[in-house]
Amino acid sequence: MEQQLTGWRMSPVLVRGIVVACLGLGLAVVSGRLVVLVLVAPWVVLVLVQLVLRPGQAPRAVVGVREHVLTEGATTTLHVDVAEAQEAETLTVVADQVPWLRLRPWRGTQQVDVARATPRTDGSVRVRLGLEARRWGPHQPGGVGVGATAGWDGWAWGPVPLLPPALHVLPRPATLATSAAHPDPDGLVGAHAARRAGSGVEPDDIRAFAPGDRLRRINWRVSLRTGELHVVTSRAEVDGGVLLLVDAYGDQGTSEGAGGRESSLDTGVRVAAALGERLTGRGDRVGLRVLSGGVPRELRPGSGRRHQRRLLGVLAGVRADPGSVASRTAGGARLPVGHLPGGTLVVVLSSLLDDRVTSSVAAISQRGLPLIVVDTLGGGARLEARDGLRADVADLAWRLRLLERESLLARVEAAGCAVVRWSGPASLEEVLRGLSRRGRAPHRVAR
């Protein structure tokens, strides 16, 4: 954004110098004393020099950022390019502090000596400020004021207000350490071993040769020992479908940005980003639904690096939206999961404080889909004492809400849902392996 045109004006230094010089000359004339003229002579000379050094053309400033899209915890550069600054002596840039964007230097002030600065190819002088993104989401940097001085600080230009472009900060994926396979893959091609036979890599069994078998599958050691041709069979390698459900009905706890304490929504978004990065990287089809009181945000299943970037973009726009209190009763609106293909792994990331989530999780489990509920409520979450509510009353209300939550958790686990509390990179390892073993076990089919 470029500043509006403005010209040079007298600085307070020059105005005070003119006032002192005029008063001194007037006093010397009235009193008729030479000593007064001698005393005021330096001020007169200084004012005359500053008037002679008056700059001509006013500078022009443009503000920008090096990167418009970055990951939380990363640093970009906010720069102000000042053209026509040859007659200026110093350039000063001051940026406003805003939440979740940390300035470097932290005071948000940078001053440059034009005589010592290296001009750019177009002749402009660039002033830089560091900008660190502390939390995911769209962020608008604070306003920037730029000013200049010239003529021994006798002339000033600005401060001119500038508005930097907005930043889109993507969530930094949580660290995820798991090697468990998809519980029930049912795709076409991928990295998971399917139940059906096919041309995979991992050996499955050895059987007698049959018409249509490939010669490269012949196991010559077994064939020579038995006197009949035998081949090595393998299972097909397929991909799996995964649906991530992020609960944005509320946000509990304190968020301190990258590297600090996490709220429940912080944990949900970052774990969803980690799962999306891991699963799309191995070829799985990953979909996303953001659940809130308004219109749910949705991303259709896909795979690949481009789909991963789209998933991070949707997660970066998540905002807590509790919705109406009337819809929070048990048996209210169901989760809008729509039609899901068989074998789709559903991962619900929620603080499990809303009845709309807990009642619908049980309904998803009854459809026979593999389901994991990740509890994102941290131990430091508390109910804030506000709107005239005393701290002791707020603490008691929070304890009662946690007791109610325990009963909801018991109901979810009784419905056969796997509930795991997020406590680090290996939190999902055991539950994924348990679902994989259950997926390979025989199933009873109703006739």
- Amino acid 327: pLDDT: 43
Whether residue 333 is found in the same domain as residue 435: yes
In a domain, 188, yes or no: no
Cβ neighbours of 367 (radius 10 Å): 12
Whether residue 100 is found in the same domain as residue 164: yes
- Residues in the chain, overall count: 447
Whether residue 85 is found in the same domain as residue 123: yes
Last residue of a domain, one of 169, 187, 217: 169
Greater pLDDT, 443 or 21: 21
Q: Express each pLDDT in 292-325 by its tens digit.
A: 877 668 888 888 889 999 999 999 999 887 764 4
Average pLDDT over residues 49-53: 88
Greater pLDDT, 430 or 42: 42
Of the given ranges (184-193, 222-231, 428-437), which has the lowest mean pLDDT? 184-193
Count Cα atoms within 13 angstroms, Cβ side, for 115: 3
Count Cα atoms within 13 angstroms, Cβ side, for 414: 8
Last residue of a domain, one of 185, 213, 238: 238
Average pLDDT over residues 154-183: 83
Whether residue 222 is found in the same domain as residue 317: no
In this prediction, residue 344 has a pLDDT band, given cuts at 50, 70 and 90, of confident
* Strand pairing class (144-150; 90-95): antiparallel
- Is pLDDT of 225 > 70? yes
Of the given ranges (26-35, 83-92, 230-239, 311-320), which has the lowest mean pLDDT? 230-239
The closest alpha carbon to 371, from 321, 434, 320, 313, belongs to 434
- Is pLDDT of 93 > 50? yes
Count Cα atoms within 13 angstroms, Cβ side, for 313: 9
Greater pLDDT, 355 or 287: 287
- Amino acid 134: pLDDT: 93
Greater pLDDT, 128 or 253: 128
- Is pLDDT of 445 > 50? no
* Strand pairing class (167-170; 345-350): unpaired
- Is pLDDT of 447 > 50? no
Range of the domain at 211: 198-238
DSSP, residue by residue, 314-358: HHHT-------SGGGSTT-SPP------TTPEEEEEE-S--HHHH
Whether residue 298 is found in the same domain as residue 327: yes
In a domain, 430, yes or no: yes
Greater pLDDT, 70 or 204: 70
In a domain, 185, yes or no: no
Considering the entire predicted model, what is its pTM?
0.75
Phi, psi of 18 (to 5 degrees): -65, -40
In a domain, 17, yes or no: yes
Whether residue 18 is found in the same domain as residue 73: yes
Token representation of residue 214? 């490939």
Whether residue 151 is found in the same domain as residue 271: no
Average pLDDT over residues 342-364: 80
In a domain, 82, yes or no: yes
Of the given ranges (20-34, 155-169, 322-336, 377-391), which has the lowest mean pLDDT? 322-336
Using DSSP's 3-state secondary structure scheme, residue 210 falls into coil
Cis omega (within 30 of 0) on the bond before 105? yes
In a domain, 180, yes or no: no
- Amino acid 397: pLDDT: 77
3-state secondary structure 3-31: CCCCCCEECHHHHHHHHHHHHHHHHHHHH
Mean pLDDT of the chain: 80
- Amino acid 366: pLDDT: 75
The closest alpha carbon to 102, from 63, 129, 121, 66, belongs to 129
d(CA 192, CA 188): 10
Helix (H) or strand (E) holding 402: helix 391-414
Of the given ranges (2-11, 103-112, 267-276, 412-421), which has the lowest mean pLDDT? 2-11
Whether residue 34 is found in the same domain as residue 109: yes
Whether residue 229 is found in the same domain as residue 324: no
In a domain, 174, yes or no: no
Greater pLDDT, 301 or 333: 301
Q: Express each pLDDT in 187-197 by its tens digit.
A: 444 444 445 45
- Is pLDDT of 202 > 80? no
- Amino acid 203: pLDDT: 65
The amino acid present at 169, given as its one-letter code, is V
Task: Tell me the C-alpha to C-alpha distance, in Å, between residue 52 and each of 48, 49, 150, 264.
Answer: 6, 5, 11, 64
- Is pLDDT of 248 > 70? yes
Helix (H) or strand (E) holding 55: none
Using DSSP's 3-state secondary structure scheme, residue 165 falls into coil
In this prediction, residue 68 has a pLDDT band, given cuts at 50, 70 and 90, of very high
- Amino acid 190: pLDDT: 47
- Amino acid 110: pLDDT: 92
Whether residue 261 is found in the same domain as residue 292: yes
Q: Express each pLDDT in 355-389 by its tens digit.
A: 778 777 877 777 777 888 888 887 655 555 454 56
The dihedral formed by the CA atoms of 42, 46, 51 and 52, expressed in degrees to the nearest 10 = 100
- Is pLDDT of 288 > 70? yes
In this prediction, residue 330 has a pLDDT band, given cuts at 50, 70 and 90, of very low
Of the given ranges (63-67, 110-114, 162-166, 362-366), which has the lowest mean pLDDT? 362-366
Whether residue 214 is found in the same domain as residue 102: no
d(CA 371, CA 416): 9
Whether residue 227 is found in the same domain as residue 262: no
Overall number of domains in the chain: 3
In a domain, 94, yes or no: yes
